A and B are shown apart, each in its own frame.
Chain A
């Protein structure tokens, strides 16, 4: 069974600094996708970044990058130049298999990020 582990319940970072949120996963599939979502207090899950298991380069989206280490089964999110608006819960999620028939997401327990002045 697939599993996502986020070991940091809470993190603090100063404004304009970079921060890394950890995520490890467990799967027996060769084909899978890894996602990061941001959940502000309003509740909406906001998609941030995606990494496919066969992608050779680490994904980047603006200030977000995904440090994908396949052999270690880790997919850490790096946020550069943190802003106050980055304060939120962050969830790592995985989709096993090729899309079309099996695309449910399995989520970790989340990391609460607080950005301070």
Chain B
């Protein structure tokens, strides 16, 4: 049973570029959440997708957008990259609607913006 998979594992971009990160949820899960983890800090919630809709959003600018596909996989898009966007981006999947709603994480995509 495959867990949460993310691609790519590493990415290097320059300021102003756009990037797309991908996530496949754990088998049977229908909810995908995205987090940004800066070096030395805890993850910060970006947004969550359920039934192809953005259900909840954290305090991130509109440059951060996402999408969920009918097969529950998800993409995170970041436009007009800034140096401060350099971080580990973590995707988590869960089964919405029932407790305890544990989120299982992938290994992350490490984004470096030069």
Question: A-side interface residues toward B, CB under 8 Å?
Answer: 4, 33, 35, 37, 42-47, 50, 52, 91, 93, 95, 98-110
Contacts and interface: CB of A to CB of B under 8 A. Distances in A.
8 contacts: A43-B107, A44-B106, A45-B92, A46-B105, A99-B101, A102-B56, A103-B96, A104-B33
A1 to B, nearest CB: 10
A95 B101 contact: yes
Contacts of B107: 42-44
A110 B96 CA distance: 26
Contacts of B101: 33, 95, 99, 103
B70 interface: no
Range class of the B interface residue count: 20 to 34
Given A99-B97, A103-B94, A107-B42, A47 B110 contact: no
Contacts of B33: 103-105
Nearest to B109: A43
A98 B98 CA distance: 9
Given A43-B110, A103-B31, A106-B45, A33 B100 contact: yes
Interface in B82-96: 88, 90, 92, 94, 96
